[in-house]
């Protein structure tokens, strides 16, 4: 790397972009010029990396979401520029931390599904695999969250306000996407995905929608100003904003436009490029493997059929073979309300040609079912177009793919046994598991350099950065007091750093010596933040009753957003904030118990929270959390899990030892047994303390400002509602078992060394949960792509 060159480019960028000398730039401008100067180093390597994969089979990750977070620090680390850049900034009198904090998160995703896509891109580039992301360049990412009087308030996430130095607009490669009522331009923006070591640099290509005509001049001259820009606005609206639902599907026309927009643009892009170097399209699937990240891009299946049969005039059966060889599908949820279905009327109206193709796919499917010996009375179970006239996107995805995978072992088994059992019976060979993973570059090396240094020192090498399994050899230090104390010192440092950050951003003081108990994830009933909250309130009452209760002070930290229309999730956020105030105002309790709501939780906040955690809350109702990935980030940073046997928790405990975590509650089998006869009232009345905490929702202890939030929340547990049974997530049933696990955790925390040993056992056994392992498995078993150094 040429540091003098970087400096020179920074000066030039400051001049031509902002008409300033470097030292006159504000912090946003400094961030911009530094990043741009790094792009000058990146681009030649990027071109070289693209060239080395020319002519080879490649994989493509089609995803409506990429939750990238910040780029600057990550790229500096992956390019191994860290110390050079720090020196340069020193020389220039600039503070790296301030510049780093000036970068907005690229929050183009809701949660786990979008963040998984980002981890996969990092891992593939690091492992020298050709994997390219395709998605949407939303002008506004996931909303920003503020808390006012305990209520969540959403505001727009204008992440591009200060420019995006990391993407290159490539108008030469724009394509046209056609709907029944409009044609729009799709403009690609390319962002380099820099693998660790800088050897391979892949591309994330995100499409922005634009109008083919910017202004209707005739209308403008006619004084019809609104009408004159209507076409432009209609086109730009397609990539305007990310839908903020992480579980509930959004049956809106604009959402369907978004899906078709990026899928059609991406497929046109691939076909066009392929035809430049091949005379026939027949071998398309030999060179392309496309992973569908859930069903959001499933319209790719009929769209590729359209391109092949209508545009390229290939006969149907041959085209279908190409399609099924090209696509593979990942399922991320078994929650019924999240399984995508689109009314056929919407498809007919917006994408009539695509609809006709789906109809034909459904007819062909039925022929095949009969061929497979499925009796005619059972065929309805498989139809892509349901009897309610909905297109079942999961069924379309399974039928149009050669591979269907779940994201943790338990999840895949549930898919095979129940949710998708009919499909598993006829296509067992398609089904496989790929347990999720996380990138240790961002989630340890970047966010926890102190612990990273200790690991490197003890290993005598930094090989773990690209091969996480190596940390297993550190298990030999599990009884080494010196090492365990070093670990405790580092944990303490990270807790102090988090305490400072929380002081600055939330205005709250927390005690770094208390047990940090953290639940950070989207708010959803099945994730059971409400169970956590009820337990804290119970603790509050127990401490009031018994001031000498023998406990280590505990700090409960929550972070996460509720979908704007998900009122019950918003009620739970309000409840947590009310409990926080109750405790803060009570001098008898506030030194023993503390609640923090980490506002606007996002990737960047996670980077501060995971390293500082003692306890990781993974308390979903068994069978509901497909995998979870936050659980892995905590484990890697040496936190213990308090959790249910759900998703990847099962595999975490299998690796780290059940004795080193706090497992509680119903298992999937238990729920199957009790669900039909479950009566939450029994627990409400008989479990000590449970009625007391539940009743705070309705007895005036708290005030929901006339929203009716609390009554509705109470009723959902005690009486159920029009669309759900009472306590559908078994919160009251699991309460006592959770409280016991909490007591065990708090007691265990008193013995610092034995606690540290448990943390160590989690950390050193986290190797399996690197997304490098996950991507390696996708590459070998589904994509069939080769590494190219």
Catalytic choice (70, 442, 522, 739): 522
Active site residue 48: no
Residue number, 164 or 246, with CB nearest to ligand NBY: 246
Closer residue to ligand NBY (CB): 243 or 347: 243
Instruction: Give the residue with the Cβ less far from ligand NBY, 647 or 767.
Output: 647
628 binds ligand NBY per the rule CB under 6 A = yes
Residue 388 bears catalytic tag: no
Question: Which runs of E-coded beta strand occur in 254-308?
Answer: 288-293
Q: Which of 36, 208, 491, 521 is catalytic?
A: 521
Around 626, how many Cα atoms within 13 Å sit in the side-chain half-sphere? Answer: 26
Q: Which residue, 334 or 639, is less far from ligand NBY as judged by CB?
A: 334
Q: Which residue has the tokens 């109008």?
A: 211
Residue from 104, 625, 704, 772 binding ligand NBY (CB under 6 A): 625
Would residue 412 show up in a list of annotated catalytic residues for this protein? no
Tell the smallest beta-carbon distance from residue 406 to ligand NBY (Å). 9
Cβ-based nearer residue to ligand NBY, 341 or 578: 341
Spatial separation of the C-alpha atoms in residues 553 and 593, rounded to whole Å:
6
Q: Which is nearer to ligand NBY, 332 or 733 (CB)?
A: 332
Nearest approach in angstroms of CB 407 to ligand NBY is 4
| CB 435 to ligand NBY: min, Å | 10
| Least distance from ligand NBY to the Cβ atom of residue 338, Å | 5
Task: Kindly state the tokens that stand for 466.
Answer: 């690209």
Query: Which one from 36, 137, 255, 332 is the annotated catalytic residue?
Result: 332
- Could you give the string, one character per residue 340-379, with x where binding to ligand NBY holds by CB under 6 A and - elsewhere? x---------------------------------------
Which residue's C-beta sits nearest to ligand NBY? 112
At 249 the three-state DSSP class reads coil
Nearer CB in complex with ligand NBY: 133/628: 628
Q: What is the 3-class SS of 22-54, one letter each residue?
A: HHHCCHHHHHHHHHHHHHHHHHHHHHHHHHHCC
Angle, CA 732 vertex, CA 652 and CA 664 arms, to 5°: 25
Yes or no: say if 86 and 6 are a contact pair by the CB < 8 Å rule.
no
Span interacting with ligand NBY, options 473-481, 545-553, 619-627, 760-768, rule CB under 6 A: 619-627
Q: How far apart are CA 263 and CA 396, in angstroms?
A: 15
Minimum distance of ligand NBY from residue 627's CB (angstroms): 4
Query: Of 113 and 639, which CB lies nearer to ligand NBY in the complex structure?
Result: 113
Report d(CA 406, CA 49) in Å as an integer.
31
Tokens (6 digits) for 7: 């400096």
Which residue, 252 or 273, is less far from ligand NBY as judged by CB?
Answer: 252
Q: How far is CA 165 from the centre of its chain?
A: 23
Q: Binding of ligand NBY at residue 665 (CB under 6 A)? A: no
For position 601 contacting ligand NBY by CB under 6 A, the verdict is: no
**Is 120 or 662 the residue whose CB approaches ligand NBY more closely?**
120
Q: What is the DSSP string of 535-588?
A: HHHHHHHHHHH-TT-----EEEEEE----TT-HHHHHHHHHHHHHHHHHHT-TT
Q: Evaluate whether 549 touches 555 at the Cβ level (below 8 Å).
A: no
Which CB atom, from 165 or from 647, has the smaller least distance to ligand NBY?
A: 647
Footprint of ligand NBY on 104-143 (CB under 6 A)? 110-113, 116
Length of the chain: 789
Residues 6+ apart with CB under 8 A from 664: 642, 643, 644, 734, 737, 738, 740, 741
Is 701 a catalytic site residue? no
By CB under 6 A, residue 441 contacts ligand NBY:
no
Decide whether 81 or 243 has the Cβ nearer to ligand NBY. Answer: 243
Output the six-digit token pair for 116.
């998984």
- The single residue of 629, 641, 644, 774 carrying the catalytic annotation is 629
- One symbol per residue from 547 to 586: x for binding ligand NBY (CB under 6 A), - otherwise; what is it? ----------------------------------------
Residue 486 sits at φ, ψ, to 5 deg, of -60, -45
Q: CA angle at residue 612 from 611 to 616, to 5 degrees?
A: 85
Torsion of CA 666, 668, 670, 671, to 10 degrees: 90
Reading the block at residue 487, the tokens are 């670990």
SS3 content of the chain, % helix, strand, coil (to 5): 55, 15, 30
Q: Give catalytic status of residue 486 as yes or no.
A: no
CA 237/CA 138 separation, integer angstroms: 10
Cβ at position 775, least distance to ligand NBY in Å: 13
Site for ligand NBY in 196-255 (CB under 6 A): 243, 245-247, 249-250
Q: Does 629 bind ligand NBY (CB under 6 A)?
A: yes
Which residues are CB-contacts of 171 (< 8 A; sequence separation ≥ 6)?
187
Footprint (CB under 6 A) of ligand NBY, residues 382-421? 407
333 belongs to the binding site for ligand NBY (CB under 6 A): yes
Q: Are strands 106-108 and 183-194 parallel, antiparallel or unpaired?
A: unpaired
Q: Which member of 390, 529, 627, 774 binds ligand NBY (CB under 6 A)?
A: 627
Catalytic position from the list 30, 633, 733, 739: 633
Number of residues that bind ligand NBY (CB under 6 A): 23
| Separation of alpha carbons 323 and 342, rounded Å | 21
β-pair type (66-69, 554-559)? unpaired
Q: Contacting ligand NBY (CB under 6 A), which of 626, 632, 639, 690?
A: 626
Among 74, 436, 637, 649, binds ligand NBY (CB under 6 A): 436
- Count the Cβ atoms, other than its own, within 10 Å of residue 419: 19
Instruction: Name the minimum Å distance from CB 788 to ligand NBY.
Output: 27
Catalytic annotation present for 232: no
Stretch that binds ligand NBY, among 8-16, 263-271, 331-339, 372-380 (CB under 6 A): 331-339
381 forms beta bridges with none
651 binds ligand NBY (CB under 6 A): no
Min dist. Cβ of residue 436 to ligand NBY (A):
5
Q: Which of residues 338, 369, 596, 663 is near ligand NBY by CB under 6 A? A: 338
The residues, ordered by sequence, that sit 6+ positions from 439 with a Cβ below 8 Å of its Cβ are 119, 122, 123, 126, 770, 771, 772
Per DSSP, 466 falls in state T
Q: Quickly tell me which residue has 């930094």 as its tokens.
A: 462
**Of the listed 486, 491, 495, 527, which one is catalytic?**
527
d(CA 240, CA 154): 16
Tell me which stretch binds ligand NBY (CB under 6 A): 26-34, 473-481, 556-564, 623-631: 623-631
- Residues serving a catalytic function are 332, 521-522, 527, 629, 633
Which residues in this chain contact ligand NBY in the complex, by CB under 6 A? 110-113, 116, 243, 245-247, 249-250, 332-333, 338, 340, 407, 436, 625-629, 647
């Amino acid at each position: 790397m040429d540091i003098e060159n970087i400096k020179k480019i920074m000066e030039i960028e400051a001049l031509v972009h902002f008409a300033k000398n470097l030292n006159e730039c504000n912090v946003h401008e400094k961030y911009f010029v530094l990043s741009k100067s790094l792009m000058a180093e990146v681009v030649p390597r990027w071109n070289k990396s693209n060239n080395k994969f020319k002519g080879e089979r490649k994989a493509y990750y089609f995803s409506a979401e990429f939750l990238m977070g910040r780029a600057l620090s990550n790229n500096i680390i992956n390019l191994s520029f860290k110390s050079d850049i720090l020196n340069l900034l020193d020389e220039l009198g600039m503070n790296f931390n301030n510049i780093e904090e000036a970068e907005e998160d690229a929050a183009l995703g809701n949660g786990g599904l979008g963040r998984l896509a980002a981890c996969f891109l990092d891992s593939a580039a690091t492992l020298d695999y050709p994997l390219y992301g395709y998605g949407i360049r939303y002008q506004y990412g996931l909303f920003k969250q503020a808390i006012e009087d305990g209520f969540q308030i959403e505001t727009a996430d204008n992440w591009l306000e200060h420019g995006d130095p990391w993407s290159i607009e490539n108008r030469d490669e724009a394509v046209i996407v056609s709907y029944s009522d409009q044609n729009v331009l799709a403009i690609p923006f390319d962002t380099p995905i820099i693998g660790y070591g800088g050897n391979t640099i892949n591309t994330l290509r995100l499409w922005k929608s634009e109008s083919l005509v910017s202004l209707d001049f005739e209308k403008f001259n006619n004084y019809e100003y609104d009408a004159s820009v209507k076409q432009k606005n209609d086109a730009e609206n397609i990539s305007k904003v990310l839908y903020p639902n992480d579980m509930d599907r959004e049956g809106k026309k604009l959402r369907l436009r978004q899906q078709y927009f990026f899928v059609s643009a991406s497929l046109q892009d691939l076909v066009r490029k392929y035809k430049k170097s091949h005379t026939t399209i027949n071998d398309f699937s030999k060179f392309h493997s496309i992973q569908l990240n859930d069903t959001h891009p499933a319209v790719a299946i009929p769209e590729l059929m359209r391109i092949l049969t209508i545009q390229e005039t290939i006969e149907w059966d041959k085209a279908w073979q190409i399609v099924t060889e090209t696509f593979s599908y990942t399922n991320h949820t078994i929650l019924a309300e999240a399984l995508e279905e689109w009314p056929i009327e919407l498809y007919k109206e917006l994408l009539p040609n695509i609809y006709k193709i789906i109809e034909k796919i459904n007819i062909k499917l039925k022929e095949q079912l009969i061929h497979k010996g499925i009796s005619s009375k059972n065929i309805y179970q498989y139809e892509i177009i349901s009897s309610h006239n909905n297109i079942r996107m999961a069924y379309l995805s399974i039928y149009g793919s050669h591979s269907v995978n779940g994201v943790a072992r338990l999840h895949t088994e549930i898919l095979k046994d129940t949710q998708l059992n009919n499909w598993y019976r006829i296509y067992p060979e398609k089904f496989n598991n790929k347990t999720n993973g996380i990138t240790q570059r961002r989630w340890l090396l970047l966010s926890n350099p102190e612990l990273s240094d200790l690991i490197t020192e003890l290993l005598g090498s930094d090989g773990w950065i690209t091969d996480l399994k190596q940390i297993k050899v550190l298990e030999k230090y599990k009884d080494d007091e010196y090492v365990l104390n070093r670990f405790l010192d580092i944990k303490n440092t990270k807790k102090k750093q988090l305490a400072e950050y929380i002081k600055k951003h939330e205005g709250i003081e927390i005690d770094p010596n208390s047990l940090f108990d953290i639940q950070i994830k989207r708010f959803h009933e099945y994730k059971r933040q409400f169970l956590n909250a009820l337990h804290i309130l119970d603790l509050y009452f127990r401490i009031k009753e018994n001031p000498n209760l023998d406990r280590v002070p505990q700090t409960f930290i929550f972070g996460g957003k509720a979908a704007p229309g998900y009122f019950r999730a918003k009620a739970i956020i309000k409840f947590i904030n009310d409990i926080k105030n109750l405790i803060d105002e009570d001098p008898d309790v506030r030194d023993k118990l503390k609640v923090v709501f980490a506002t606007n939780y996002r990737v960047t906040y996670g980077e501060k929270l995971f390293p500082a955690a003692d306890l990781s809350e993974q308390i979903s109702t068994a069978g509901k959390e497909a995998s979870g990935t936050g659980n892995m980030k905590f484990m890697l940073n040496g936190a213990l899990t308090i959790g249910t046997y759900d998703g990847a928790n099962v595999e975490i405990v299998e690796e780290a030892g059940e004795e080193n975590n706090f497992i509680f509650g119903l298992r999937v089998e238990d729920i199957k047994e009790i669900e039909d006869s479950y009566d939450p009232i029994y627990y409400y009345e008989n479990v000590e303390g449970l009625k007391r905490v539940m009743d705070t929702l309705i007895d005036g202890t708290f005030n929901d400002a006339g929203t009716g939030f609390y009554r509705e929340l109470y009723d959902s547990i005690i009486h159920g509602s029009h669309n759900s049974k009472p306590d559908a997530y078994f919160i009251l049933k699991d309460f006592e078992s959770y409280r016991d696990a909490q007591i065990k955790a708090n007691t265990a925390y008193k013995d610092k060394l034995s606690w540290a040993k448990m943390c160590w056992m989690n950390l050193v056994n986290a190797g399996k949960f690197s997304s490098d392992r996950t991507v390696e498995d996708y590459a070998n078993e589904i994509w069939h792509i080769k590494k190219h150094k």
